[in-house]
Structure 1
Amino acid sequence: MTATSPPGPADEPERYVGLETGEAERQARSRGWRILRSVPPGAMVTMEFRPGRLNFEVEADRVKRAWRG
């Protein structure tokens, strides 16, 4: 059996939608997210899953979408 990394905090990414980017990042770090990535709408991003990473799609300094990995 191989060891795997935990999938990240028991937190719902949807809770960040609508927040100002800085506030979303502050809350995410306080809830245990280790890696945060903010991208503009339509940006090309790598698809590898990284445990502990929370992704934000940001437009006009507001989180439009959030997802794990």
Structure 2
Amino acid sequence: MWDMLRKEIHVLDPLCAQVAGAEQRHMTHQEAVSQIHTALFSCLNEFFTKWRCSAEKWKRKFPRITHDVFTR
């Protein structure tokens, strides 16, 4: 989820809140988020000539969206 005003990317994955493996989950998302972010701004720059938002220096957040613990 891209917050264009705050320049924040919120990755909504319920497994990111798990204590075990949280760092690995974050790393799993990093490459996909980077590719989507690049493609999004490529489209914005192509279709909206007066777009005034830079693709640089965006924060990535992994908010806790559940307190449930998931197991296999």
TM-score (norm 2): 0.28
TM-score (norm 1): 0.29
> Which is richer in strand?
1
